[in-house]
Amino acid sequence: NAGVTQTPKFQVLKTGQSMTLQCAQDMNHEYMSWYRQDPGMGLRLIHYSVGAGITDQGEVPNGYNVSRSTTEDFPLRLLSAAPSQTSVYFCASSSYDTLNNEQFFGPGTRLTVL
């Protein structure tokens, strides 16, 4: 199993540009989520999904859109990038189990918005 994969690894955008960060998992996990990590800080939840067709907002959803058309994929869209969105983005997945819910994280996408 490849686990959780994220593309691209690095991206530089200009203010106002749009892009999609890709996330895929091959473990048939129901639950997927996106976090961002600013320098020296812990991770903050952006959006999450408990299954195909179901998404919800996390702690910092503004400026980001998500959709979940398949179990495997959970892309994160930035509609109009802003410098405040410069961060490292992590995707995670887990089996939908409230007691033993080890989450598996991808390697991250480092995004810089100029």
Partner 1 sequence: DAKTTQPNSMESNEEEPVHLPCNHSTISGTDYIHWYRQLPSQGPEYVIHGLTSNVNNRMASLAIAEDRKSSTLILHRATLRDAAVYYCIPPLIQGAQKLVFGQGTRLTINP
- Site residues for partner 1 per CB under 8 A: 4, 31, 33, 35, 41-45, 48, 50, 58-59, 90, 92, 94, 96, 98-108
Which CB sits closer to partner 1, 45 or 52? 45
Non-local (6+) Cβ contacts of 42 within 8 A are none
Distances (CA, A) of 42 to 19, 23, 38: 24, 20, 7
β-partners of residue 11 are 111
CB of 2 to partner 1, least distance (A): 14
Residue 87 in tokens:
């961060």
CB of 73 to partner 1, least distance (A): 18
Which CB sits closer to partner 1, 30 or 72? 30
